[in-house]
Amino acid sequence: MNEHSELSGDPGVKRITILQGEARASDDPAVEFSTILGSCVATCLFDPVAKIGGMNHFLLAEPPSGRDREAFDEHYGLFLMELLVNEMLGLGARKSRMKARLYGGANMRDTLAPIGTANAAFARRFLALEGLSLAHEELEGRSARRVNFQPVTGRVRCRSSGTAEPIKQKPLARPQSASGDVELF
């Protein structure tokens, strides 16, 4: 288990799950954001002076080059990174003070395209282009992660699944009793 800062187990905490395609920001000291990641990436942004933070969770970095790159699609990092920054600015954060922590971007299986690596590279590139400071990252590898983030304090706990190698699945065998005709209609 890999942990980065210990978070309180306070029962008064409002835990909010951030799903794929979501970005949320808060200045409420009782809020804790949580998400689970594989190849997806979550960005935790924090303004330590304003005590405002936010988290996003994106599935893919950018729309394919053949698609309208300005089209609205909440599953792309391009949209969700901008949305997160704008939500924080709306609460009173300043971009010049924002610190970022990046998590996820795992390549869970050798047989799949390295989507996690592409997501991680996009997130790093976005921060650099926008002048946002990268304070910490736990990206790539092969492990799933659970991330808990307190937006007001900027504290994060990241737990890894500990799986060092991708899971090899055996194909399912057809049972001996499975025989007969199939009627399609």
Give me the long-range contacts of 127-133 (CB less than 8 A, separation at least 24). 127/100, 127/102, 130/81, 130/85, 130/95, 131/95, 131/96, 132/45, 132/85, 132/95, 132/98, 132/99, 132/100, 133/98, 133/99, 133/100
Could you give the domains of the chain?
14-160 (3.30.1330.200)
CB 124 within 8 A of CB 179: no
At 169 the pLDDT is 42
Looking at residue 66, its pLDDT comes to 57
Q: What angle do CA 18, 44, 99 make, to 5 degrees?
A: 160
Q: Nearest to residue 153, comparing CAs of 1, 42, 2, 8?
A: 8
pTM, two decimals, is 0.78
Q: In what order do the strands lie in the sheet with 99-104?
A: 22-26, 52-58, 41-47, 99-104, 133-139
- Token pair, residue 106, equals 């795992």
Q: Which residues pair with 148 in a beta bridge?
A: 34, 157
pLDDT of 131 reads: 96
pLDDT at 105 over 80: yes
* Residue 170 banded pLDDT, cuts 50, 70, 90: very low
Instruction: Characterise 131 by phi-psi region: left (phi > 0), alpha (psi -120 to 50), beta (else).
Output: left
Cα–Cα distance for residue pair 95/59, rounded to 1 Å: 24
Predicted local distance difference test score (pLDDT) of residue 10: 63
Q: Name the CA radius of gyration of the chain, rounded.
A: 19
Average pLDDT over residues 77-106: 96
Dihedral (Cα; 167, 111, 69, 44), 10-degree rounding: 30
Give the per-residue pLDDT at 6.
43
* Average pLDDT score, the chain: 83
Helix axes of 77-91 and 115-130: crossing angle, nearest 10 degrees:
40
- Write down the pLDDT at residue 23: 96
**What are the tens digits of pLDDT across the range 38-86?**
999 999 999 999 999 999 999 887 776 655 555 556 668 888 999 999 9
pLDDT confidence tier of residue 13, bands split at 50, 70 and 90: confident
44/7 Cα distance (integer angstroms): 15
